[in-house]
Each structure stands twice: as C-alpha cells, then as structure tokens.
Amino acid sequence: MPRSYVAEARRKKVAPKKERVRPVIERLAVAHADAAIALTFSNPLELLISVMLSAQTTDVNVNRVTEKLFVKYRQPEDYLAVPIEELQQDIFQTGFYRQKAKSLRGAMQRIIEEHDGQVPEAFDELLKLPGVARKTANVVSAERGSPQGIVVDTHVRRLSQRLSFTRQEDPVKIERDLVQLVPREDWARFPHLLIWHGRRICDARRPRCEECPLALDLCPASRI
C-alpha cells in the first residue's frame, strides 16, 4: 500500500476544511496559473489514447511516444489495421505495452462498432471501453469540459491527505470525499492545481513549506 500522509495533517490547527477549500483553490490558482494537463493531444481520440498510455509512466514519456504515434495512427481503424506486435513496439517505451496494446485495440473496436468511430461523451460509455477505468474517464471528461468527478492520482491523494480534505486511502473513497467538498465548477482544475503544487512545492519526502502559499494558515501539515 502507498505511504499514507493522513497523520501529517495533525501538525497544526487550522480552520475546518469547508472554510479552507475555497481559499486553497484561489491561492493555488495564483501560484500555478499555468496548471493544466501535461499530455499533448489535438482531439478526443488522441486525448483518450494519451491517458490510457500514461498509466505507470510519466506524461513526458507519453508525449515522446505519441509524437510519432499520432502521425502513424490517425483513426480508430488504424490501431486495428496493423499486427498487435507492431502496435506493441510503437508503444513499447510507455511500459506494460502488451496490456496497453490489447486495451487500445479493444477500445478502438468498441468505438468503431458502437460509437461510429467517435470517442463517446457519456461517462458511463467511456467506462465500458476496454482499458478505461474511472480515473481515465474522469480525465477525458474533464478535458472535454464536462467533469463527472475529480481525478485522484498520487499527488492529489498526498495533498488531499495533508490538507485534511480526506482521511481515506483508497482513490475512489478519496474522490467521494472531494466531490462533496470541492465546488463543482472547480472539479476540472482542482486536480491540476494539486498535481502541479505537488510537483513543484509539496514533495512527498521533503515538502518546501517555506515556499508554500498555504503553509501559514491553510495547511494542517505545515512544518512552519
């Protein structure tokens, strides 16, 4: 099980989470005005594929692979027109390439057969695509302007625990807490703000609290 950060939220007494969530979002929005998805894509199909490939690897690595991939594969049919071994080789650098190739082909097949070659917009239909779990569906929906939940990755999990927005460990339960707390109009940008803050300031091992805009009065895990 991943390391828990729940206990760190006992370091400092702060206001209740319902009073803090809006100021947290506002301050992080100023500190990370450029916070956005790091994957490179130009249409819903490329978005879906990029997110599917991003499992267990970095966005930088995915972008390096998709730069060539999206030139070769432009339509769902293209992923089915080559031997699976060739597709595996094309996505090899993203890791878990056998399972990812299988999922990609399964998703493309369903998109062709049931959605006229278009990535479905309905959240429930996204979840029916092979290889698409809730996190992937959340990312795709949010980036298309219709968030149905809040993306929970390792950074969102860590910061949500440190901010005492949740005491849960499971991503599904963490998301359940967050959607009840975060205003719906902020569901899409909230995870980006936490992800970028986690990468730049709130490091897992050595958070730079002295540089954090939340440290003085909004973060119960602050070491200041």
pTM value? 0.92
Domain count for the chain, please give it.
Answer: 2
User: Would you place residue 118 in the very low, low, confident or very high pLDDT band (cuts 50, 70, 90)?
Assistant: very high
Q: State the average pLDDT for the chain.
A: 97
**Domain end call among 92, 118, 143:** 143
Please indicate, yes or no, whether residues 166 and 121 belong to a single structural domain of this protein: no
Please indicate, yes or no, whether residues 138 and 159 belong to a single structural domain of this protein: no
| Residue 123 placed within a domain | yes
pLDDT at 1 over 80: no
Q: What is the 3-state secondary structure (H, E, C) of the chain?
A: CCCCCHHHHHCCCCCCHHHHHHHHHHHHHHHCCCCCCCCCCCCHHHHHHHHHHCCCCCHHHHHHHHHHHHHHCCCHHHHHCCCHHHHHHHCHHHCCHHHHHHHHHHHHHHHHHHHCCCCCCCHHHHHCCCCCCHHHHHHHHHHCCCCCCCCCCHHHHHHHHHCCCCCCCCHHHHHHHHHHHCCHHHCCHHHHHHHHHHHHCCCCCCCCHHHCCCCCCCCCCCCC
- Give mean pLDDT, residues 17-28: 98
Q: List the catalytic residue out of 12, 59, 102, 153.
A: 153
Whole-number pLDDT of residue 46: 98
**Domain end call among 143, 158, 180:** 143
**Domain end call among 121, 143, 165:** 143
Q: List the catalytic residue out of 135, 177, 186, 217.
A: 135
Does the active-site annotation cover 128?
no
Does the active-site annotation cover 153?
yes
- Domain residue limits at 17: 6-36+150-211
Please indicate, yes or no, whether residues 101 and 133 belong to a single structural domain of this protein: yes
